Amino acid sequence: MDDAFPVTADEYDSYVKVLLSRLRRGMEASEIASYLLEVERGSMGGRYMDDSVLVALGERVVEWFEASLDHWQDRRVQS
């Protein structure tokens, strides 16, 4: 993000840190969607997505995270 949006890079970095922390604790898609709503309303100052879009996004983020863990574990076993 730093190269594409240097003015807002720190802002996105802080969201990602919290998001990854919640994913590591095993939060479900609905909880991730709630966090994204918090970011939208609190940090970004508005409402940009429907609840259904946030839930779908939360599901995709959780799926991505779980697939990433599987991928890295497979790589460690192969090394």
The predicted-structure confidence for 15-68, as pLDDT tens digits, reads as follows 888 999 999 999 999 999 999 998 888 777 777 778 899 899 999 999 999 999
Query: Can you give the pLDDT at residue 49?
Result: 76
Q: Is residue 50 part of a domain?
A: yes
Reading the block at residue 68, the tokens are 């990433």
Query: Can you give the pLDDT at residue 50?
Result: 85
pTM: 0.71
Q: Is residue 63 part of a domain?
A: yes
Question: Is residue 79 over pLDDT 70?
Answer: no
Domain count, the chain: 1
Q: Is residue 1 part of a domain?
A: no
Q: Is residue 2 part of a domain?
A: no
CA distance 34 to 6: 27
pLDDT band for position 1 (cuts 50, 70, 90): very low
Query: Do the beta carbons of residue 62 and residue 20 sit within 8 Å?
Result: no
Tell me which residue range forms the domain holding 29: 9-78
